[in-house]
Chain A
Amino acid sequence: MPEASPVIASMRATGLSKQFGGLRAVADVSLDVHQDEIHAVIGPNGAGKSTLINLLSGDMQVTGGSIVLDDRDVTRFGAERRARSGIGRSYQKTTIFQQSTVHENVRLAAQAHSKAPLRMFGDVVSDANVNAAACDALERTGLTLRIGTPANQLSHGEQRQLEIAMVLATSPRIILLDEPLAGMGTQEARKIVDLIASLRKGHAVLLVEHDMDAVFELADRLTVMQDGKVIATGLPQQVRIDPAVRAAYLGTHGDAAGDAA
């Protein structure tokens, strides 16, 4: 179970690196995320953004560096323990329980963070706290009317909403979003952007996203990665005029959609 939440949640990564054989996907990356802040990470394809999220969420183990969550070193924690320490994540490629209903997807997420996630007796619907957390997450993501629908029958946009609903149902303090707008239409994207903006309060949000309009609308701080390294970090307006960034990324961006994975 998560410990009593400190007033300010924060996550600090120092000197992170990840080696795949001969490829250094992430090299000496340091960044931090604080509560009530959205920290966006951008960069061309192959810059190591998704790998960075996988390192922070524990889906992958680091080759070097450390990750500290509220003064607690979680570097060696696996994905399960990171999740139970208050880190929630969404996936770039929709990763949900396809055969289950929307409600069951979100309920499972809430169950994983309940007092007895592996209780062996009693029906699943009997835990009031789990139900409340699930309903709340469904309401915030606007999926309440779809609770009985099997997840594989949702539209792509709704599946992306479900991804975020599942993260919310785990009551995380740190939220890692891996391209939440990937493959979305303008209208659907608008809803998600508003939803992400609403997450700022009470959470520390790390956002990896290709949609530059969304990034500049949402980000309180911006980090730019290229070839696994951080080439600039700071306020969005400062980063925007950074010569290195312009040369490496924004200068050629013009049409951000062209970068979509």
Chain B
Amino acid sequence: MTPQMSLRAWLVPAILLAIAVALPFVVPKYYVQFASKALILGMLAMALNLVVGYGGLVSLCHGAFFGIGGYALAMVTPKYDPVSLWWSFPFAVGIAAVVALIIGALALRTRGVYFIMVTLAFGEMLFFLFHDNQFAGGSDGAYINNKPEIAIAGRVLLDLDKPLAFYFVVLACLIATIALLAMLVRSPFGHALAAARDNERRARSLGFPIFRLRLIAFVISGAIAGVAGYFSAAQFGFIAPQTLGWHVSATVLVMVLIGGLRSVVGPLVGALVLLGLEEVLKATTEYWKLAEGLIVIAIVLLLPNGVRHLLTAVLGERKEIAPQDVKAVAKVEHA
């Protein structure tokens, strides 16, 4: 049984990888770009799922980390020249990680529904920061006229302007992300993170440093979201403040829900399903948003597992803190 299972465990990813590698050679250029976009959003959804699915923390500010990665690229790209990928990429990811560290350090002091509200508030704060100030183009957004490249002594080795090269760079990052997340969730760190999700009180009394544990997960997740944002901005050559807002965060959450909360690659599947659906519906009907909404509702109703897990993640934790909350509220009322 074991050899068969390990064969299947290798065969399926190998076939999927072969398809992913062959894809750009058999489909038109438009679909290569579409596939790149889908993989980027899949990366974002997988990053979000580290905190939502494994950490039990429903974040509504991952759009902000995604957008920060893009804005970081826009702001370091000179007007008439491409920027070097070697330093702009780590810079953008680093900025996203620092923002995640700051937001996480504050938001992780809350639980359950309050955590959702606080992350939403931080996301919106960043949206208005970029929307209402002119330093990064304000409400018009910022352009990236030349895509990042890798050049040695004036010779361009990798130019992200070429859709094929771009696709393969994104694919490589996606595989690296899957490998990183798979390693994390299997490690003692990942098990501790899940333990804190399932029973925070017990995890704490066993001696796990819950706050630090969640903060690390939040920062890793935010950094990966920054990677996705960097490539997304590079692909479109443009970044708008809307990217930071709750709409993107919520859409990615829907991808996570469609794909399932308890697997690393599930959210990637969710992203491909949702974007594929949009693409098909846009071509068939003018009212594609209505149709999309109805189909998403149907998916969620017919595959309730994802949603149920989300609800336990939120409500389970709320239940745990409820007694202290009641006391805290009572105290405030007495005062």
Which residue numbers of A lie inside 8 Å of B, CB to CB?
20-22, 57-59, 78-81, 83-84, 89, 91, 95-100, 104, 108-109, 111-114, 116-124, 127, 166, 170
Contact (Cβ within 8 A) A104 B191: yes
Supposing A20-B327, A59-B201, A95-B202 touch, asked if A84 and B188 sit within 8 A by C-beta, the answer is no
Can you identify 7 A-B contacts, CB atoms within 8 angstroms?
Answer: A78-B204, A97-B202, A108-B203, A111-B191, A112-B208, A124-B186, A127-B188
0/1 interface trace, chain B 168-187, chain A, CB 8 Å (1 if under): 00000000000000011011
B288 within 8 A of A: no
Asked if B109 is at the interface (CB within 8 A of a chain A CB), the reply is no
A98 touching B198 by the CB < 8 A rule? yes
B110 contacts the other chain (CB 8 A)? no
Is B331 part of the binding interface, using a Cβ–Cβ cutoff of 8 Å? Answer: yes
| Other-chain residue from A79, A113, A119, A123 in contact with B205 (beta carbon distance below 8 A) | A79
Are B187 and A112 in contact, with the CB atoms below 8 A?
no
Given contacts A21-B331, A80-B209, contact A120 B187 (CB under 8 A): yes
* Contact A118 B205, beta carbon cutoff 8 Å: no
Chain B's nearest CB lies how many Å from the CB of A192?
A: 19
Select B192's contact among A91, A111, A166, beta carbons within 8 Å: A111
Of residues B203, B207, B334, which shows the largest number of chain A Cβ atoms within 10 Å of its Cβ? B207
Which B residues are closer than 8 A to A by beta carbons? 183-184, 186-189, 191-192, 195, 198-199, 201-210, 212-213, 216, 327, 330-331, 334
Query: How distant is the Cα of A108 from the Cα of B207 in the complex, in angstroms?
Result: 10
The 8 closest A-B pairs by CB, nearest first: A83-B207, A112-B206, A112-B207, A84-B207, A120-B189, A119-B188, A95-B202, A79-B204
Roughly how many angstroms separate A170 CA and B206 CA in the complex, as a whole number? 7
A84 to chain B, nearest CB (A): 4
Q: Which of B188, B199, B210, B213 is close to A124, meaning CB atoms less than 8 Å apart?
A: B188
Task: Report the separation of the CA atoms of residues A246 and B127 in the bound assembly, to the nearest whole angstrom.
Answer: 68
A170: contacting residue among B188, B207, B327, CB under 8 A:
B207
Nearest residue, chain A, Cβ from B187: A120
Contact of A116 with B188 in the complex, beta carbons under 8 Å: yes
Chain A neighbourhood of B330, CB < 8 A: 21
Question: B202 — nearest CB in chain A belongs to which residue?
Answer: A95
A20 to B331, CA, bound (A): 8
A118 to B215 alpha-carbon distance, docked (Å): 12
Query: Which residues of the other chain, B, contact A111 by a CB distance below 8 angstroms?
Result: 188, 191-192
Q: Decide yes or no: A117 and B192 within 8 Å by CB, A80-B209, A80-B210, A170-B206 being known contacts.
A: yes
Report how far A186 CA is from B209 CA in the complex, Å: 38
The smallest beta-carbon distance between B109 and chain A, in angstroms, is 13
Interface majority SS (helix, strand, loop, mixed), chain A:
loop
Chain A residues with CB under 8 A of B199: 95-98
- Report Cα–Cα, A79/B196, bound state, in Å: 14
Interchain CB contact (< 8 A) of B188 among A59, A98, A118:
A118
Distance, CA A106 to CA B205, complexed state (A): 13
Q: Say whether A120 contacts B334, CB under 8 Å.
A: no
Asked if B198 and A123 sit within 8 Å, CB to CB, the answer is no
Q: Which of A89, A98, A104, A124 contacts B187 (CB 8 A)?
A: A124
In Å, the complex CA distance between A106 and B206 comes to 10
Q: In the complex, A134→B186 CA distance in Å?
A: 18
Chain A residues, CB < 8 A from B206:
83, 108-109, 112-113, 166, 170
Write the nearest CB–CB distance from A253 to chain B, whole angstroms. 29
Q: Give min CB distance, B230 to chain A, whole Å.
A: 23
CA distance A20 to B203 in the complex (A): 25
Contacts of B208 in A (CB 8 A): 80, 112, 117-118
Are A112 and B191 CB-contacts (below 8 A) given A89-B205, A96-B202? no
The answer to whether residues A21 and B334 also contact, given A108-B195, A118-B188 and a CB cut-off of 8 A, is yes
**Contact call B187/A123, Cβ cutoff below 8 A:** yes
Contact A99 B198 (CB under 8 A): yes
Taking A83-B205, A95-B202, A98-B198 as contacts, is the C-beta distance between A108 and B327 under 8 angstroms? no
**Distance to closest chain A CB from B208 (angstroms):** 5
Nearest CB to that of A176 among chain B residues? B205
Q: Which of A81, A83, A112 has the most CB of B within 10 A?
A: A112
* Contact B192–A108 (Cβ < 8 Å): yes
- The docked-state distance in angstroms from the alpha carbon of A99 to that of B186 is 16
User: Would you give the shortest CB distance from B334 to chain A, in whole angstroms?
Assistant: 6
- Among A96, A98, A109, A127, the most chain B Cβ lie within 10 Å of the Cβ of A109
On whether the beta carbons of B188 and A22 are closer than 8 Å, the reply is no
A84 to B208, CA, bound (A): 8
Q: Give the CA-CA distance A236 to B209 in the complex, in Å.
A: 39
**A124-B191 in contact given A21-B331, A98-B198, A99-B198 (Cβ < 8 Å):** yes
Q: How far is the CA of A100 from the CA of B203 in the complex (A)?
A: 13
Q: Which residue of B lies closest to A59 (CB)?
A: B205
Closest to B193 in A: A118
In the complex, which residues of chain B have a beta carbon less than 8 angstroms from the beta carbon of A81? 207
Question: Is there an interface contact between B204 and A80, defined as CB atoms closer than 8 Å?
Answer: yes
A91 to B188: give the CA distance in the assembly, Å. Answer: 24
Distance, CA A20 to CA B198, complexed state (A): 28
In the bound complex, how far is the Cα of B216 from the Cα of A120, in angstroms? 11
Residue of B nearest to A127 (CB): B188
A100 x B198 contact (CB < 8 A): yes
A100 to B198, CA, bound (A): 9
B156 to chain A, nearest CB (A): 35
* Most central of B186, B205, B213 by chain A CB within 10 Å: B205
Q: Within the complex, what minimum Cβ distance (angstroms) separates A102 from chain B?
A: 14
